[in-house]
Chains A and B, each alone.
Chain A
Amino acid sequence: MDTRQHNRLLQPLVLVILIVAGVAFLAPFAWMLSTSLKPLNETMSLPVRWIPSVPQWHNYPEAIHGMGYFWRYAANTLFLCVMNVVGTVASSALAAYGFSRIEWKGRDKLFLVLLATMMIPFPVIMVPVYSLFRHLGWIGTFRPLWVPSFFAGAFNVFLLRQFFLGLPKDISEAARIDGCSEFQIFLRIILPLCKPALLVVALFQFMFTWNDFLGPLIYLARQKNFTLALGLENFQSQNGGTEWHYLMAASTMVVLPVIVLFFFTQRTFIQGIAATGSKN
């Protein structure tokens, strides 16, 4: 069904506005790339020049060197992403199943509680959670940054539950009659049908972990344990205000994997985000 608006008079005007806005939205990316390839003196030349006289590709290896343990940061970030994705997908799928495919007393009331927890901002619970992990001796390790993901995030449970509710009840009933246990139904029947939804949750979690800053900032102590986000911040606070070509090269390297991932999964991604805002 085509729900788009038509309007012969407005159409060209709309296109012009969108092109101007589009250029404005792309300009910071172009600026980042352009700066990352300039020699230092050209980052400071006015009027602004977009194309470096000679592209300084060596800015990239030099930024990697300047950040200290770039490859360690990358490995740490990747490790945390994998752990978080596995933990979140597994635990959220289980919880969403319990909230949707089995009927039990009190289920929907408890689900409202789950929704309410989305309102609790992290800074509010930051101190007690920190001291809890401190008592466990986990400060300075990666554990505070991945163990919690095995306890299902409210938002992901909410998303998956929507998908689970959309599947007909009959398939579960049929499997039950065939003698499948609830866990077998979950694992063999429901999960394979929900691959796109699971992929959405995995992608969101990956992005969240890749981007997270406050968590690594409070829990990680030694530089060798930093994530890319924290490593970039550390690099910036040491070079702030001067070596913009290195900072932009470093930023580009932190953004690029995310952009590449997006282009490979664009469809799932856009649909997933669209789903977060609808039908509640």
Chain B
Amino acid sequence: MTRKERRDRRTGLLFISPWLIGFLVLCVYPVLSSLWCSMCDYSVLTPAVFTGAANYRDLATDPLFWQSLYNTAFFAFFSIPLNLLVSLSLAILLNFKIPARGLFRTVFFLPSLVPMVCLAVLWQWMLNGELGLINNALKPFLGVANHLFGSHLQPPNWLLDARFAKWGIIFTGLWGVGNAVVIYLAGLQEVPAYLYESADIDGAGFWRKTWHITFPIISPVIYFNVIMSLIGTLQVFAIPYVMTNGGDGPDRSLLFMATYLYQNAFDYWNMGYACAIGVVLFLIIISLTWLATKLSEKHIYYAGK
């Protein structure tokens, strides 16, 4: 290394030092410490006692942990594709030549600005079984359906019914898709116009153009967004926590992994056990991200590569 190279590296490291210190103290250390704590009996108040795999063995036979795993998986499994579908559709629709496009974009974007706690309080009221807006909007439709088919469908009591509580959270999340809409719309605007024009000449219709031109070109954006929402969805906490007034819903239907982790850490001071949940959550996120990357490798189109 020449003197200049050494000097440049010193300057570079100096510039990134705020991040580097933060990385070591607030990232590397906590991750390692979390791993260590997950193998300990630890309550913060007293020193940690090493117990080996005991926490993990307990997790394996803990029905509440499996419940939280199931709830989290259920939520992610429906929420991620549904969000993708809605945000991508809205972005594609917004990309048509329509009047007041900016206004529509703002309207779809606004809800994603609402703070989590407000979102939860508002939607707790929206989803109120008797007085909520959602059910009062559903009633006429169900009335028509009941009339036509002789059924007796009633709108559900969303957050108070274990069968519907998670759907309540999923719909709440759907209101905040605006962020993704803006990202997709920006991606759509990078699709070169000549591709559509030549497809027009070839007589391709809307669906074929969308499938063969739009999707491949914005596939990196889709990939990025799906990974981000995967990471976000698996750590869902604030909305169900606030909606259940700090609880976990009827029959624990809103007990998510982050909820259970929080309960163990700060309600029971069972920090070692909480860390073990955290480690499992982390492993799930890493392996799903890896899986998504592997699955999508063949389908992502990177211009110029």
Contact = CB atoms under 8 A, between A and B. Distances in A.
Given A213-B117, A236-B121, A47 B22 contact: no
Contacts of A114: 19, 23
B9 A262 contact: no
Interface stretch (A51-59, A64-72, A78-86, A94-102): A94-102
Interface residues of A, number: 102
A211 B116 contact: yes
A98 B258 CA distance: 35
A274 interface: yes
B131 interface: yes
Contact of A274 (B9, B37, B186, B278): B186
Interface stretch (B51-59, B74-82, B142-150, B282-290): B282-290
B301 interface: no
B65 interface: no
A103 B7 CA distance: 10
Contacts of A2: 193
A32 interface: yes
B5 A105 contact: yes
A77 to B, nearest CB: 10
A123 B25 CA distance: 16
B8 to A, nearest CB: 5
A165 interface: no
Chief secondary structure at chain A's binding surface: helix
Interface in A1-50: 1-7, 10-11, 14-15, 17-18, 21-22, 25-29, 31-32, 35, 43-44, 46-48
A103 B278 contact: no
A68 B150 CA distance: 51
A274 B278 CA distance: 31
B266 interface: yes
A191 interface: no
A180 interface: no
Contact of A151 (B26, B30, B188, B289): B26
Nearest to A107: B12
A18 B98 contact: yes
Given A129-B30, A280-B220, A255 B18 contact: no
B158 interface: no
Contacts of A15: 98-99
A171 interface: no
Contacts of A141: none
Contacts of A98: 11-16
8 contacts: A2-B193, A10-B96, A43-B131, A99-B15, A105-B5, A229-B115, A254-B117, A278-B186
Given A17-B93, A213-B241, 19 more contacts: A3-B189, A14-B93, A25-B178, A28-B111, A28-B122, A31-B133, A32-B122, A35-B125, A91-B19, A95-B16, A103-B8, A123-B237, A125-B27, A151-B25, A157-B19, A214-B238, A254-B117, A278-B186, A278-B221
